[in-house]
Amino acid sequence: MKKIYLDYAATTPVDKEVSRKIEVFSEDKFGNPSSLHSFGQEALFAMDHSREVVADFLNCKRKEVYFLSSATEANNLAVFGVLKKRNDPHVIASPIEHKAVLEPIKRSGASFDHLPVSSDGIVKKEKLKELIRENTVLVSIGYANSEIGTLQPLKEISEIIREENKKRKEKIIFHTDAVQAANYLSCDVQSLGVDLLTISGHKMYGPKGAAALFIKEGVDVSPIIYGASQEKGLRPGTENVYAIAGLAAAIEVLDKNDNERTEELRDRIVRGVLSELPDAKVNGSMKDRLPNNINFTFKGAEGESIMIALDREGVAVSTGSACASNSLSPSHVLLSLGLSHEEAHGSIRVSLGRFTTKEEVDFFIEKLPSIVNKLRMISGK
């Protein structure tokens, strides 16, 4: 059976070119960057090069780029690292943020307000101003949502924060999780106006195990783990040179992504599915959306069952985010858009990528309706 992968938002395969570029770091140039001998030098040079590439991608200084093991770790550092030295801090984030942002905020003990989202999954930026308090220290809004692919107006938000900061001695820090966006949208931190930004290698055709956090010069972030002085003491622990070089290599071949082609395939799926299943609903704005993301709700059919049935046909999709899909509670993102529990349960996410073909898309379009219809019959709805 041919296997079709339509879950690029969960993770991407490593691009062959990336693999080729970094294989040298696994068996040959395996040194520890902190070692002073030639093995260490090679690894340190690789770190330097990688940092240069990422800085270039983000349009920031090299010293503003910190490497970590995952986006979750980067987001934890962003949240805890900013809040650590603050007294009675207040944080604002949207309710559709990834758990890797929401959980740290909840556990930090900071007071927390949601910047609400509209029913099509875009934050209501006009509400931000009234939510900002005197003790607000952090605003975290994801660039593109991992489940529904909606794009958030970061520039406008950063403009509001900048205005607010003019009146303040202690500036509000603006963080964005750009993990899903990095493949398709500009991550120029200057034009976005963010202070902190997270990207992750394995969502960009690099290997798992490396992420980067942009920390604008002058923003005070405290370490959350302690050890030696790697990453200027902000992320001690031996660097995963292989994966970090992979993140950089992935960025170097990023222009292989074809936004237009991806968007066409995405719209082909939407058209194809809606013509067979007219009562299917697409969650989230179709206008402000990643070119590779579709999120459907099928009334009367369980997302999990659809996912499993498709998997038996060789097609991999997901229900919500991979990280939340093994929990029984429905997606907090979909609930935030105003979907009922039942609707949220009846949803699947289809995410396309660099290697998705028209044939694969057509196979999915062909298989899905009968699966949904069968499941609906069984559930009697």
Q: Closer to other proteins at the Cβ: 16 or 232? A: 232
Nearer residue to other proteins within complex by CB, 4 or 53:
53
Q: Does 328 bind other proteins (CB under 8 A)?
A: no
Buried b (16+ CB within 10 A) or exposed e, 27-40: eebebebeeeeeee
Residues 195-254 that bind other proteins (CB under 8 A): 232
| Of the candidate residues 3, 20, 38, 233, the single one contacting other proteins (CB under 8 A) | 38
Catalytic position from the list 316, 323, 335, 365: 323
Residue of 1, 2, 27, 36 that binds other proteins (CB under 8 A): 36
Closer residue to other proteins in complex, CB, 232/312: 232
The two tokens of residue 109 are 């003990």
Output 55 or 102, the one with its CB closest to other proteins. 55
Measured between alpha carbons, how far is 201 from 135 in angstroms, rounded to an integer?
34
3-class DSSP assignment, residue 33 = coil
Q: Return the number of the residue (155 or 232) whose C-beta is nearest other proteins.
A: 232
Contacts within 8 Å (CB) and 24+ apart, 31-40:
31/241, 32/238, 33/230, 33/238, 33/239, 33/241, 34/228, 34/230, 34/238
CB 336 within 8 A of CB 344: no
Contact between 317 and other proteins per CB under 8 A: no
Return the DSSP state at 9.
T
> Residue 132 in 3-state DSSP?
coil
- Whether 230 and 244 have beta carbons less than 8 Å apart is answered as no
Q: CB under 8 A: which stretch of 33-41, 66-74, 294-302, 318-326 binds other proteins?
A: 33-41
43-72 residues in contact with other proteins (CB under 8 A) are 44-45, 48-49, 62-63
Q: Pick from 12, 21, 25, 42 the residue near other proteins by CB under 8 A.
A: 42
Q: Are strands 293-297 and 347-351 parallel, antiparallel or unpaired?
A: antiparallel
Q: Cα torsion for 99, 100, 104, 110, to the nearest 10°?
A: -70
Least Å distance, CB 249 to other proteins, is 16
323 included as an active-site residue = yes
- Convert 221-231 to b/e letters by CB count within 10 Å (16 or more is b): bebbeeeeebb
Active site residues per annotation: 323
| Site of interaction with other proteins (CB under 8 A) | 36, 38, 41-42, 44-45, 48-49, 62-63, 232
